A and B are shown apart, each in its own frame.
Chain A
Amino acid sequence: MDIIVLVKQVPDTTEVKLDPKTGNLIREGVESIINPDDLHALEAAVDLQETHGGKVTALSMGPPQAIDAISEALGMGVHEGILLTDKAFGGADTWATSFTLGKAIEKIEEYDLILCGRQAIDGDTAQIGPQVADYLNIPQVSYVCEIETIEEDALVAKTRLEDGFERIHCGLPALLTVIGELNTPRYPLMGRALDACKEKAPIKVWNAADIGVQTSQVGLEGSLTHVIKTFAPKFKRETEMLEGDTREMVGDLMGRLKENRLI
């Protein structure tokens, strides 16, 4: 079972503040982390590999410092890391990103399964997984919360829907996007993480030429969409105090949460 995991390095948004004037994210001094959903994808891949054998490759597109995401993935037990980094990749929208990742996956060639997180906490689009599957023309299952069975040429995955679950049988190779319920990610092992820092670590760094793309096809130039402005939504918060005894207040609260489709 050869598995590719798509990993994105993102700013730790639990620490991120918005500039009150511009509404932009203040990224200075903010730690970069592996996108939380991607940790679950990594865990699933390493776990599957441990039972079924094969090779796990972590693939990431990002600036050179995204190497830390690759190193952490190697620390978790991934066999090989590939960092796609090139000035030309900068400013990519989800289309250009999926295209770039797709090209790299074609270059990797051998794979049975591609795992990625449902969505990245900085962009929140949830588009990359499905678009990569579309580019590669392989089946996709999104919002996977359990991989029930897996065989040489097919798997059964359970996915989370708004109001229940769905059990999906799917041929391989396939792409799954996974959610946090799937598992508890392990922490990297010290020795493995240290090995990842060494020159002879199993890490490849590819640029645009390495994956055979023109700079016009990738990054900002290759993007079909352009962000005009980022801003913080203005919430008009209204506080309302519930009244009555605990039973009444809880009943009232539950009613309103349901009414607003929050639960």
Chain B
Amino acid sequence: MIRSNSEALIRKIMATFVDKELIPRAQEIDEKGEFPMEMFQEIGKMRVFGIRYPKKGGGSGGNTTLYCIICEELARGLMSVAAVTAMQCLMGTNFLFHFGTDALRETYFLPAMGGEKIACFCLTEAEAGSDLGNVSTSAIRTKDGYLLNGMKSWVTNGPVADFYTILCQTDPAKKFKGLNFFFVPRETPGLSIGKPFDLLGTRTTPISELALTDVHIPCEHMLGQEGRGMSNLLSILAEIRAMTAALAIGLQQAALDDSIRYAHERAQFGSTISNYQLIQAKVANMATDLEASRLLTYKATHMVDEKIPCLKEASMAKYFSTEAACRAGDEITRIFGAYAYSMEYSAQRYYRDNRFLLYGGGTHEILQPNIARWVGL
């Protein structure tokens, strides 16, 4: 039976899209600093956003490995486009898909799969970053629903989203067991969206605060069984970390490709700089980091797909791959010499965009002690 390998085929399709459509426009999109709506919709048309959902639910029938391959390829083109795609495929729509009513899925999930509605995910608050137990946005039971009050921060896509999945505390006495997710459409009265933050990297991914003042929503907008918010979040944590690792791989690949190209072109002291061992060392380190990142990351994604617990593997992948992306962003700014310091070249973007990977999905200061504990410390 001759058939295409699905991972290779999806990578090829996305790589073609990235080379033809995204890379030529990356600099322009980044400079403009606006949500890349046109690109988002093109990606939606290809039904990318449904890659990790089953076909019968309105998805494309893929899996986590394919999702990560797509994230990686898009990040090779432009991190911010990859970031909004990653959000739309996973965190922004996951709880709606699994726990939303048919009516909500019909109105919000299905259009989101085609790129007609934009999703986002709201955990972080001023006093609750790494420490989600401290979430204080409250959801108080009323006779016909919930009343939400509080303030979320660092909401990726916040300014442009059509619906919000929001982590709230229903009973502070219960601590983690009181944390639950709620679905809030943009047009709900009492929801107000802050102005976009001025960001260091991924400048076209708008991020804002979100204020909830007496936001009233019906009971069926609680996504998931009461008390299971954190465990439901935990069930996709490995996937979030593997996805972040995949984004980091894309950035490493882009930095490596551009470094090799530049080193072949740039001549100093009568020879292209590719012939100097110190440049070769940088390229060799970047390539080795990249290879190791791939092995760690896709090992984790295959475990996710086979439903083997892999929070340790995914955390290692996120940690290693992101640090490697930060190193790659640093090395390319050396290889490019002064041109890295100019906004006209790509190097500066990799240098800024790699920071995006550090925080979401767990900072490394949080991951490291966990990894140490998992290996027996």
Per the bound structure, the CA–CA distance linking A75 and B3 in Å amounts to: 13
A71 to chain B: which residues have CB within 8 Å? 3-4, 9
Question: Is A231 engaged at the interface, CB distance under 8 Å to the other chain?
Answer: no
A63: shortest Cβ distance to chain B, in Å?
10
**Are A72 and B9 interface neighbours, CB within 8 A?**
yes
Closest Cβ of chain B to A199, distance in Å, is 6
Known A196-B4, A197-B5, A203-B3: A190·B12 in contact at CB below 8 Å: no
**A72-B13 contact in complex given A190-B48, A191-B55, A195-B61, C-beta closer than 8 Å:** yes
CA distance A199 to B47 in the complex (A): 22
Across the two chains, which residue of chain A brings its CB closest to B53? A191
Closest to A74 in B: B4
Is A189's CB under 8 angstroms from B4's CB? no
Residues of chain A within 8 A (CB-CB) of B66 are: 190, 194
B78 to chain A, nearest CB (A): 17
Interface footprint category on B: 20 to 34
A7 CB to nearest B CB, Å: 14
Interface residues of A in 179-200 (CB under 8 A from B): 186-191, 193-199
Instruction: Looking at the assembled complex, report how far the CB atom of B116 sits from the nearest CB atom of chain A, in whole angstroms.
Output: 15
Distance between Cα atoms of A203 and B3 in the complex (Å): 9
- A85: interface (CB < 8 Å): yes
Q: How many A-B residue pairs have CB under 8 A?
A: 78
> Assuming A187-B46, A191-B55, is B16 touching A33 (CB within 8 A)?
yes
Interface pair B13/A75, CB less than 8 Å apart? yes
Q: In the assembly, what is the distance between CA of A203 and CA of B42, in Å?
A: 28
Q: What separation, in Å, do the CA atoms of A231 and B3 have in the docked complex?
A: 35
Question: Does B51 belong to the interface (CB within 8 Å)?
Answer: yes
Contact with B along A71-103 (1 / 0, CB 8 A): 110010000000101000000000000000000
A31 within 8 A of B: yes
Q: Does B250 belong to the interface (CB within 8 Å)?
A: no
Q: Mark B1-23, 1 if CB is under 8 A from A, else 0.
A: 11111101110110111000000
Q: Does A205 reach chain B (CB closer than 8 Å)?
A: yes
Pick the contact of A191: B9, B15, B16, B47 (CB < 8 A).
B47
In the complex, how many angstroms separate the beta carbon of A56 from the nearest chain B beta carbon? Answer: 18
A198 in contact with B2 (CB, 8 Å): no
In the bound complex, residues from chain B placing their C-beta under 8 Å from that of A190 are 10, 13, 46-48, 50-51, 60, 62, 66
28 contacts between A and B (CB under 8 A): A31-B12, A31-B15, A67-B4, A68-B9, A71-B4, A71-B9, A72-B12, A72-B13, A75-B13, A83-B2, A187-B16, A187-B45, A189-B60, A190-B46, A190-B48, A190-B50, A190-B51, A191-B47, A191-B60, A191-B61, A193-B9, A193-B13, A194-B6, A194-B62, A196-B3, A196-B4, A197-B9, A203-B2
B residues 19-67 near A (Cβ < 8 Å) are 42, 45-48, 50-51, 55, 59-62, 66
- The 10 A-B pairs of least Cβ separation, nearest first, read A191-B60, A190-B60, A71-B4, A197-B6, A190-B47, A189-B47, A197-B4, A187-B46, A68-B4, A67-B2
Q: B13 to A187, Cβ gap below 8 A?
A: yes
